[in-house]
Chain A
Amino acid sequence: MSLFASSLFDGISIGAVLLMSALGLSIVFGLMGVINLAHGEMMMLGAYTTYVVQNGAKALGGGLWLNLYIFPALVLAFVVAALVGLFLERNIIRLLYGRPLETLLATWGVSLILRQFVRSVSWGFVAGLVIFAVLFWGGRWVLQRFRPGGLGRMHQGAIALITLLSIGISVTAGYGLTGLGETSFWGKLWFSARNVDVTPPGWLQGGLSLGTVTLPYARLFIISLMVVCLVGIYWFLQRSPWGLRIRAVTQNRQMSACLGIPTDRVDALAFALGSGLAGVAGCAVTLLGSVGPNLGSNYIVDAFMVVVVGGVGQLLGSIVAAMGIGITSYLIGSGTLGFVLSNMGASFLQPVIDILDFFATSSMAKVMIFALIIGFLQIRPAGLFPQQGRSVDV
């Protein structure tokens, strides 16, 4: 029984990570009808931010810093991911409003770029990026400010020229600087493609013993973090003016716009919030394992499934779905369920136990969970708690 309890606890903590990443997805999807395939990369950014903060704490001399770095890391992970999300929304997703499938593809492009970015980022690379940004936006600003007379049609051409020129110059500069070699200041990779490790603070190592069961502090921390996030989001959505606006736009975009709600600012805010939550989830994930460029993709499909099962834009649905998926997949995947059933000694359960044993690896557990989800969608196509409405297009 103690095995069952500790597995259940591990399952809950995995569900907590899932929930934190799925909350943002669910809010954004409910609001804008957009699925952000780069959401997993927001988690990755959060995780790398934690890594950087930890190294900063080490540089500051350890001790107290190393014990407390996790708190500034949480805040910074939120801020970094939220800023990237805001940038994304302002510059890409906004252009594709009303075309959700294209948005899906565009965010996948972003996710590829971000993944390769953490692999090959170095000071030289950053310098190239800065040069590009200065030339590109600077050029456009100049064009805007001193719009030369008679340019007329050529405006598009001028923008294209600026884009090409700034790409050319910055790529050359970036290549030149990184070409100085792996060991030089400009060429040294920040993270490289290898996984990096974050050591949890001392007080999060070890665990709380309750009789025969040991609850690791790291997982307890993740669960309490999830509770804090959940309460915060609930308060924000239900009690704050911007939360009210988000809920209004989710229900009826046109009507809210008519009533004077700035829908584009609501979109940007919700997107930044969702990305920030993913960043926090990424920070939490560093306590469970090592950090790599592909960290996000391990969680993201499960997070999508949480959104599909939970229904759109519903907090309660997301909670139930995340916990359900997290716990079930852990119990099946670790073989605990089969083990517990076989301990009960009922022989008529044997076929069930055999099936459970066949699925008792974490990858095969996904197969089973997905079969269950498809079955579930046959009964409740719109998820656990569908939104009420009379629209044909749910």
Chain B
Amino acid sequence: MVVAIALLTILLLPLLLSDFRLKLVGRFLSLAILALGIDLIWGYTGLLSLGHGIFFALGGYALAMHLNLQLPDGQIPEFFSLYGVQDLPWFWQPFYSMPFTFVAIWVIPMVTAGLLGYLVFRNRIRGVYFSILTQAMLVVFFNFFNGQQKLINGTNGLKTDTATVMGVLMGSDGAQMALFILTVVILALAYGLCRWLTGGRFGRLLIAIRDDESRTRFLGYNPTSFKTFVFAVSGALAGIAGALYTVQSGIVSPQYMEIAFSIEMVIWVAVGGRGTLIGAIIGALMVNLARSFLSEQFPEVWLFFQGILFLGVVTVLPQGIVGWLRSEAGSQMRSLLGRPQRVSTYSSLETDPEVQYEHENLSH
């Protein structure tokens, strides 16, 4: 099923869409990988991270540094000369190697996430506290990347469009097409990974932690290690997504670590449906398509729309689109058709209007 959809996407979309639109969709698909990671920690484990921009940008920077080093021997990237830097900073050195970069894209965000997560979860800090701590981390990383002109070109970020890898210009149509296919393949793989993780015993433990962490602890499991692990996996997915997004949009900059962007990621998952992996993908695609459409047509409306989206999803549709389809759409259809509701327990009680009335009005 997944393979079939992936194949269809690869074969059909390039025929249907113009190059510009295709590139846009490719970027949104890489954001969908990110959404999968967020669904893993928020939808399944109940950790609301407002700092996923960190891992996203780390992955992007890792790849962008490698691409910026595709130069003749002895040269260093151009921007260094602007700030009077003569030698390549030490931490750029390993990025000459391609295998190292491909590992670094997901290992660096994973280790960062694991470390930060461990330091927080260890103390049983959770819920809202965790969220605002991740937001503070985000601000810290943003300030760091934004302020260090001499190390990583600060505010301007790193361009990847103009780099050539093995004789191919990254910005060319051929390379972008290859990246599109790569994104679809990786998205399918990531989906498979998340399905596998959440399917078995491990997935049920994550849900147990989400629903009642203290009880899980009393049952003899250590939530800290599970939470750290799943947060690290989520960070790795974000890193990969960031790398793919970077090469398809041609630049990585500290803007990827803006507070607003990281919170927006959460709303993609909320729109699609928390705790449903396919929902995360659908939500990421839908919100971003709506965004690109609305901000092209009426730029000033987009923020209002986004605000209303936050409010609406949270109050009216807490389960998201997919969750709603799975749980309530069936019964709504049935009531429209005038058929009796399907109920799981004592049907005579649950459908009796008098009992329902008492239940509603007397229990308060």
- Chain A positions within 8 Å of B, measured between CB atoms, are 29, 33-35, 92, 95-96, 99-106, 108-113, 115-116, 119-120, 153, 297, 301, 304-305, 307-308, 361, 363-364, 366-367, 370-371, 373-374, 377-378, 381, 392-394
Contact = CB atoms under 8 A, between A and B. Distances in A.
Interface of B: 46, 48, 50, 119-120, 122-125, 127-129, 131-133, 135-137, 139-140, 143-144, 146-147, 214, 259-260, 263, 266-267, 270, 300, 303-304, 306-311, 313-315, 318, 335
B119 A116 contact: no
9 contacts: A101-B48, A109-B310, A111-B307, A364-B143, A364-B144, A367-B144, A374-B133, A378-B122, A392-B214
B124 A101 contact: no
Given A92-B311, A109-B309, A373 B143 contact: no
A377 B123 CA distance: 8
A102 B318 contact: yes
Contacts of B147: 361, 363-364
A104 B119 contact: no
Contact of A110 (B46, B133, B307, B335): B307
Contacts of A394: 124
A299 B308 CA distance: 24
B140 A367 contact: yes
Given A112-B303, A301-B136, A363-B147, A33 B310 contact: no
Given A106-B311, A112-B307, A113-B304, A35 B143 contact: no
Contact of A116 (B48, B146, B307): B307
A363 B146 contact: yes
A28 to B, nearest CB: 11
A366 B257 CA distance: 15
Contacts of A35: 128, 131-132
Contacts of A102: 314, 318
Contact of B143 (A116, A297, A363, A393): A363
Contacts, number: 123
Task: Tell me whether chain B's interface is mostly helix, strand or loop, or mixed.
Answer: helix
Contacts of A373: 136
Given A96-B315, A101-B48, A101-B128, A108 B119 contact: no
Nearest to A167: B308
A100 B136 contact: no
Given A106-B315, A378-B123, A112 B146 contact: no
Nearest to B139: A301
A92 B313 CA distance: 12
Contacts of B129: 308
B132 A308 contact: yes
Contacts of B313: 105
A119 B135 contact: no
Contact of B124 (A103, A113, A374, A381): A381
Contacts of A366: 139-140, 143
B143 A374 contact: no
A95 B128 contact: no
Contacts of B123: 377-378, 381
B135 A301 contact: yes
Given A109-B309, A363-B143, A101 B125 contact: no
Given A393-B214, A394-B124, A108 B263 contact: yes
A253 B119 CA distance: 31
A113 B302 CA distance: 10
Given A101-B127, A110-B307, A304 B136 contact: yes
B270 A104 contact: no
Contact of A370 (B48, B136, B214, B263): B136
A96 B140 CA distance: 30
Contacts of A115: 303
Nearest to B260: A112
A33 B131 CA distance: 13
A106 B310 contact: yes
Contacts of A374: 119-120, 133
Contacts of A378: 119, 122-123
A103 B318 CA distance: 11
B300 A381 contact: no
B125 A377 contact: yes
Contacts of A99: 318
